[in-house]
Structure 1
Amino acid sequence: MSTVNGASLMQFLGSIQDRKQFQTLNWRGSFADYLDLVAQDPKVTRNAFQRIYDMIMSYGTEEFIDAKKRLIRYRFFSDETFDGDDAIFGLEIPLMRLVNFFKGAAKGYGTEKRVLLLHGPVGSSKSTIVRRLKKGLEHYSKTDEGALYTYDWYLGQVDDPATFDWRQVPEAEWEKCPMHEEPLHLVPLEHREHFLAQLNEGHSAEEQVRISGDLCPVCRFHFRDLMRRYDGDWTSAIKHIRVRRLLFSEQDRVGIGTFQPKDEKNQDSTELTGDINYRKIAIYGSDSDPRAFNFDGEFNIANRGIIEFVEMLKLDVAFLYDLLGASQEHRIKSKKFAQTDIDEVILGHTNEPEYRRLEHNEFMEALKDRTVRIDIPYVTRLRDEERIYNRDFNRKRVRVHIAPHTLEVAAMWAVLTRLEDPKKPNLTLLQKLKLYNGKSLPGFTEDNIKELRKEALREGMEGISARYIQDKISNALVTNQEEGYINPFMVINELESGLKNHALINSEEDRKRYRDLLATVREEYTEIVKNEVQRAISADEEAIKRLCGNYIDNIKAYTQREKVRNRYTGQYEEPDERLMRSIEEKIDIPEARKDDFRREIMNYIGALAIEGKTFDYRTNERLHKALELKLFEDQKDSIKLTSLVSRVIDKDTQEKIDVVKARLIRDFGYNEQSATDVLNYVASIFARGDTKGNY
């Protein structure tokens, strides 16, 4: 019987609490204590752009070459250990542009004065990128490397500032800075130059502290009031300050703001810059008293961090004007107050129709000039698209068995809809997909791949979104829940049936093109599964080794102009030309090239022997494939797969089919039902005599 009860659960929760970590994250100190922190680690004073860039780089990078182009993958976006649900795949080039924007802004090269606009088709990961940045900032602010600070005011009376201890003030009597500003803003403007010269002495240019901006209206009011109280004694006034650790939180509206467009009649600019608190006017007597104003607009609360504008170009024009000063001058204008300094990244995202409207609006030239647009296209590399669906429909989340290649064919169709038809007459769209996915094709080089990408200017900006594919896979899972599994054909049927009601497909021509591409995917899947069954049938390692040994003996004798000893009769015979050609033809070695291929194999074996290594057919991909195909050809008739169609199966054949099925389950990821279906499907192909391709 379980001994778990309320008391034991309470004790367990108490034991796993990390009080030391809590105290670290809720650090409190005097202004002098904060200056100690700044002197030890100037990075605590970074601006928003520097902090985001450092956050991204803290996760590390990896370089790789794609079609002779050096690309950088930023683990912040792709590392699933950070946030697997938001991991981004296949967008290395747009993300490199994004990080370069932050790098330039962090170094003060000008992009810090721009609005960053992510632009692309629906479902292309624009929101995901922003969401990851926001979550990343929340997490980063809780680390030692990402620590930042703000301050609170104590406005009560102090008998003797020299002996005043801020620790004795009750928590309820502290008033927070509404815009959680950098504490160094409390250094008076007229003294900053001398202060910084003293602080930065001995530090390199990159380590030097800079102070940008001034106090918000509320803090400015309190500061002036205290300075008057102490007859201009700054050291006494600053005793009323308590510095504390600042933790970003979108939920608590600290350092992360989000603004969404609403109905035009209900849009109100006070949502961005704050509004008058009418209840407090009665207390303070004026609507221009900063204490009677709520500095809680999205711009205000996002200070020190990031503000997201959802579907930014759907905003009323009056809202977009607010972005001009916020981006270029890093200032916002609240009602009844002078311009207020802000330090935040302004990031919006929009789709193509909205952006085209901006392009044709001559009244928005100023905004266009202050905007850095980064295109976020759909993924055009098959393996990356497949990773998206593998993440969303993995075994931990989905209890229904997903047959091999189910997610692959869905991803294949999605990518095909996004690719532009190649201009090369000898290249199909499917072949183009394979080239992009890293597969080598005869007659095409990496330079050709670069050309293909260069000529396709809008590739990835149109087509079917991953969101549609995810919905249809979900439908297939629900519809076939009783079956216990789904296979590629179930998903293909869902994808096709949804086209007639797809809200974003406006023409019958597009629908026809997408259906034709589904037919292409069906054909490709048929070839894949035929090849897989062939490999399962010919997976007899001993038989392949024997066949390989026989082939090697014959080509050795052939190249050295010798005879081969028949291992059964002991007689010496001419090399078996029929055997050698039956293997070589499986991988399209023409008669004119057979001598070259045989010498190539013998030279390879000789080179291994010099190094003291033994030849293994598995290390030569082409030969391995040829041997499998030959063995399959020799065995397929003995297994009699076509008998599955007639359902007349003798005991010997059934045993052989069960062996193949077991291999499909063990080696290829099928379950009992899906393996049976695959064998039945391939058997029906044989029964029709459709054995093109590898057969």
Structure 2
Amino acid sequence: YQSKDGTAPFNGVIIVQANWEEWNKFCNNDKFKALRDRMCMVKMPYVLRSDAEVNVYQDAIANSDLSKAPLAPHTLTMLADFVVASRMSRAKGQRFDMLQKVHAYNGDEVDRVEKITGDESELVDALKYYKDLAQTKEGADPEGFSGISTRDSLKLLGRIFNANAVAPEADPLIVLETLEAFTSEQKNTNLKNQWHNLITQLKDEYRKKLEHDLKTACVPGYEAVGQEEYDKYVNYLNHLEERPGEMYKDGETTKSPEELEKELRDIESHIQIMQGKKPDEWKAFRGTILQNELRYRSVNSQAHKGWKTVPALFQAIESKILMTDKEMESIIRQGADATNEGIARHKKFVEEMLLKGYSQRQVHKTARFFLGNEPK
């Protein structure tokens, strides 16, 4: 049916989206007064999970000329953490770790936080604690309705890639420089102080991530070495459980039960959470690992579990196979007086870093940063 004036009846819902600036223009236009009376506004907050924010950047990059530009690990995560933090509420007088809040909202594993009620205090789940603060603290901004918009965050991403006048590229050090400049442009003094503190936190966190990248790159075949150590650990446990007192044989390798126990303890000495535990607790710890491993093999054609699937054991194995800071620095520096062996190890280190996603230039740039020589 259609009326004489050309209009047609409609029974349904029309969904539209707009940012605040466009919405305010619409509301201030009297031509749309009748239409406004028939509208129901649903407020949608900005993204508050870093992983989701990173997905926005990845989609934007993939559909642009920047898809082939060098992009170092941790770059997008650092920008996302900063942007998401800017959108989170912070009531006057609140004191907490903003970066920890970002990680909690993202679903990352974070330490429990101390909640003080009157004269009592208790350790509580970080995510629940921060969510409760956002809802109950008087004067707090609504979560996700202020801060850096998606549009502005993409502009920041463009500034980061275009910071190098020679060719587009992005790495965490450029992110830090860009965020410092962006923060200095803000007029709100309190906001500038908060963001400068956040940038300091991001820089410290990145240094730890970079240290891990550098250390693992100094171990040729890091993943394979770690898996081999894990496989040996569970195989030794299984042998001692099924054939106590018997010699262990694997190809040309023969070990006594005492030697197996010594190697097990060598790895276990790096398990922080088990230090000082009683023998019964160690036995239960070993038993749990072995049972889970054998159960996994039984349903996966005898394939071994990945060495990173048991966090405590993964950290222990990694502590064992990674080099000391001094050993790592000697490989990274590779001065003019380096031996042939040193040059070969440095070359292998660079190859491992390239496999992680760094460009040749970014390898040397980040290494200089870590060693204390800030790149220009």
Where on the TM-score scale, by shorter chain, does this alignment land: which range?
0.7 to 0.9
Question: Secondary structure in 2 aligned to 1:461?
Answer: coil
For 1:641-671, what per-residue CA distance to the aligned partner results, in whole angstroms no more than 9, with x for missing partners? 46518665322122222222212222x2221
**Does 1:373 pair with 2:373?**
no
Summarize the Cα distance change of 1:579–1:500 in structure 2 as closer, same or farther, 3 Å threshold: same
Q: How does 1:49-60 map to 2 (within 5 A)?
A: 49-50=12-13, 52=14
For 1:138-160, what per-residue CA distance to the aligned partner results, in whole angstroms no more than 9, with x for missing partners? xxxxxxxxxxxxxxxxxxxxxxx
Q: Is the contact between residue 229 and residue 317 of structure 2 (CA under 8 Å) also seen in structure 1?
A: yes
Instruction: Report deviation, 1:582.
Output: 3.3
Summarize the Cα distance change of 1:570–1:597 in structure 2 as closer, same or farther, 3 Å threshold: closer
Identity of aligned residues (%): 17
RMSD: 3.9
Instruction: Report deviation, 1:578.
Output: 3.9
Q: Is the contact between residue 216 and residue 322 of structure 2 (CA under 8 Å) also seen in structure 1?
A: yes
Residue-pair matches, total: 340
Q: 1:633 aligns with which of 292, 311, 323?
A: 323
Q: Quick one: higher RCO (CA 8 Å, sep 6+), 1 or 2?
A: 2
Summarize the Cα distance change of 1:404–1:447 in structure 2 as closer, same or farther, 3 Å threshold: closer
Question: Secondary structure in 2 aligned to 1:468?
Answer: helix
Q: TM-score, normalised by structure 1?
A: 0.43
2:138 maps to what in 1? none
Distance of 2:32 and 2:171 partners within structure 1: 50
Instruction: Report deviation, 1:480.
Output: 0.5
Distance of 1:684 and 1:501 partners within structure 2: 28
For 1:115-169, what per-residue CA distance to the aligned partner results, in whole angstroms no more than 9, with x for missing partners? x89675x7xxxx6xxxxxxxxxxxxxxxxxxxxxxxxxxxxxxxxxxxxxxxxxx
Q: Is the contact between residue 554 and residue 580 of structure 1 (CA under 8 Å) also seen in structure 2?
A: no
1:449 maps to what in 2? 127
1:392 maps to what in 2? 60
Instruction: Report deviation, 1:48.
Output: 6.8
Instruction: Report deviation, 1:414.
Output: 0.8
Distance of 2:79 and 2:283 partners within structure 1: 43
Q: 1:654 aligns with which of 331, 343, 364?
A: 343
Instruction: Report deviation, 1:404.
Output: 2.2
Q: Is the contact between residue 296 and residue 305 of structure 2 (CA under 8 Å) also seen in structure 1?
A: no
For 1:332-374, what per-residue CA distance to the aligned partner results, in whole angstroms no more than 9, with x for missing partners? xxxxxxxxxxxxxx5xxxxxxxxxxxxxxxxxxxx6xx65332
Q: Is the contact between residue 307 and residue 314 of structure 2 (CA under 8 Å) also seen in structure 1?
A: yes
Q: 2:207 aligns with which of 506, 526, 530?
A: 526
Q: TM-score, normalised by structure 2?
A: 0.74
Q: How does 1:476-491 map to 2 (within 5 A)?
A: 476-482=160-166, 485-491=169-175
Question: Secondary structure in 1 aligned to 2:145?
Answer: coil
1:191 maps to what in 2? none
Q: Is the contact between residue 485 and residue 674 of structure 1 (CA under 8 Å) also seen in structure 2?
A: no
Instruction: Report deviation, 1:584.
Output: 2.2
2:117 maps to what in 1? none
Distance of 2:246 and 2:364 partners within structure 1: 43
Q: Is the contact between residue 176 and residue 199 of structure 2 (CA under 8 Å) also seen in structure 1?
A: yes
For 1:8-34, what per-residue CA distance to the aligned partner results, in whole angstroms no more than 9, with x for missing partners? xxxxxxxxxxxxxxxxxxxxxxx9xx9
Q: 2:226 aligns with which of 538, 541, 544?
A: 544
Question: Secondary structure in 2 aligned to 1:660?
Answer: helix
User: Aligned partner of 1:387: which letter?
Assistant: N
Instruction: Report deviation, 1:413.
Output: 0.7
Q: How does 1:656-671 map to 2 (within 5 A)?
A: 656-666=345-355, 668-671=356-359
Q: 1:428 aligns with which of 97, 121, 138?
A: 97
**Does 1:614 pair with 2:303?**
yes
User: Aligned partner of 1:680: which letter?
Assistant: R
**Does 1:676 pair with 2:364?**
yes
1:47 maps to what in 2? 10
Structure 2: tracts of 5 or more residues without a match: 3-7, 114-122, 136-141
Q: Is the contact between residue 377 and residue 461 of structure 1 (CA under 8 Å) also seen in structure 2?
A: yes
**Does 1:415 pair with 2:93?**
no
Instruction: Report deviation, 1:376.
Output: 2.9
Distance of 2:271 and 2:290 partners within structure 1: 14
